[in-house]
Amino acid sequence: RIKASGLKLRFCTNETQATREKFVKKLQGMGFDISVAEVTAPAPAACRILEERSLRPHLLVHNDLVPEFAEIDKANPNCVVIGDAAENFTYANLNEAFRVLIGMEKPILFSLGRGRYYKETDGLKLDVGAYMKALEYACDVQAEVVGKPAKAFFESALAEMGVPPEEVIMIGDDIVNDVGGAQRCGMRALQVRTGKYRPCDENHPYVKPDAYVNNLAEAVDILLQQL
């Protein structure tokens, strides 16, 4: 309905456990009209940065994300990229990423997101942000975060749509990463009361959405009514 109305549309995800191809297939299976070209995701954003700055990464990411870095030179690494590596967050792999970092004159660490934790069917899991903090502390370095809520990430989505922020509305379920991040770029932002949403988000100490909606369908209804 959004696409049919002529509005421009972009999907911004912090998904780093799968390539965009896999991610899009999953959403297509749920009935969404979505293609890879419409997705802004941390791994391709990181690849652009690596190329611009001639950096060769040591990767600590999920196996399923590795193909996103296929075109990137990874020999003799001069930076580290961590994503939500899940089962790849082993003691040995963390020590290896640490050794690569501490061996650099000035360690460069990229983190694909800064989430604290998330829920899977078998329970809560530590997210990439926790491992980012571990490496930051051990190496006395600050990671560069690629993904929501980083300003550069939202700005690349805006550039891909070719629209200024004041003409854009972000719809998301995460009060800090979706709503707060988009607002800091000058967009308006709606929070849906589904998914990651919790009632206590409505008393968040420093982020206030421009409006709440009960779900994504309601958000679409309201937006289309304004046209």
At a CB cut-off of 8 Å and minimum separation 6, what does 70 contact? none
One residue of 41, 94, 158, 185 binding its own copies per CB under 8 A: 94
Number of amino acids touching its own copies (CB under 8 A): 28
Q: Could you give the string, one character per residue 109-138, with x where binding to its own copies holds by CB under 8 A and - elsewhere?
A: -------xx-----xxxxx-xxx-xxxxxx
Residue 126, SS3? strand
Instruction: Using the minimum distance from each CB to its own copies, give the nearer residue, 91 or 206.
Output: 91
The beta strand positions in the chain, using DSSP E, are: 11-12, 39-40, 57-60, 79-82, 109-112, 117-120, 123-126, 144-146, 169-172, 188-192, 211-213
Q: Check residue 220 for interaction with its own copies (CB under 8 A).
A: no
Smallest distance from the beta carbon of 66 to its own copies, in angstroms? 18
Q: Six-digit token pair at 145?
A: 């975060």
Smallest distance from the beta carbon of 168 to its own copies, in angstroms? 30
55 and 78 Cβ atoms separated by less than 8 Å: yes
Q: Check residue 89 for interaction with its own copies (CB under 8 A).
A: yes
Q: Check residue 142 for interaction with its own copies (CB under 8 A).
A: no
Smallest distance from the beta carbon of 144 to its own copies, in angstroms? 17
